[in-house]
Amino acid sequence: MKKTVLAVVAVAFAVAGCTTDPYTGQQKVSNTAGGAVLGGLAGAALGTLAGGNDRRNALIGAGIGALAGGAVGSVMDRNEAELRAQLQGTGVSVTRVGNQIVLNMPSDITFNVDQDAVKADFYPVLNSVALVLKKYKSTLVDVYGHTDSTGSEQHNFDLSQRRAISVANYLGSQGVDSRRFAVTGFGETRPIASNDTKEGRAKNRRVEIQLSPLT
Across the range 186-196, mean pLDDT stands at 97
103-118 average pLDDT score: 96
How confident is the model over 3-33, as pLDDT tens digits?
443 444 344 444 444 444 443 344 444 443 4
Instruction: Look at residue 119 in the predicted model and tell me its pLDDT.
Output: 97
pLDDT band at 53 (very low <50, low <70, confident <90, very high): confident
For 140-174, letters b (16+ CB in 10 Å) and e give bbbbbbbbbbeeeeeebbbbbbbbbbbbbbbbbbb
pLDDT band at 52 (very low <50, low <70, confident <90, very high): low
Per-residue confidence (pLDDT) for residue 157, from 0 to 100: 97
183 — pLDDT class (breaks 50, 70, 90): very high
Q: What percent of the chain has pLDDT over 70?
A: 76
Question: What is this structure's pTM?
Answer: 0.78
User: Is pLDDT of 146 > 80?
Assistant: yes
Residues 6+ apart with CB under 8 A from 121: 109
Q: What is the pLDDT of residue 73?
A: 95
* Domains of the chain, earliest start first: 2-213 (3.30.1330.60)
Higher pLDDT, 174 or 47: 174
Q: Does the structure show a pLDDT above 70 at 170?
A: yes
Residue 50 has pLDDT above 50, yes or no: no
**pLDDT in the model for residue 14:** 47
Q: How far apart are CA 49 and CA 64, in angstroms?
A: 23
> Mean pLDDT across the stretch 115-132?
97
What SS3 state is found at 157? helix
CB 124 within 8 A of CB 158: no
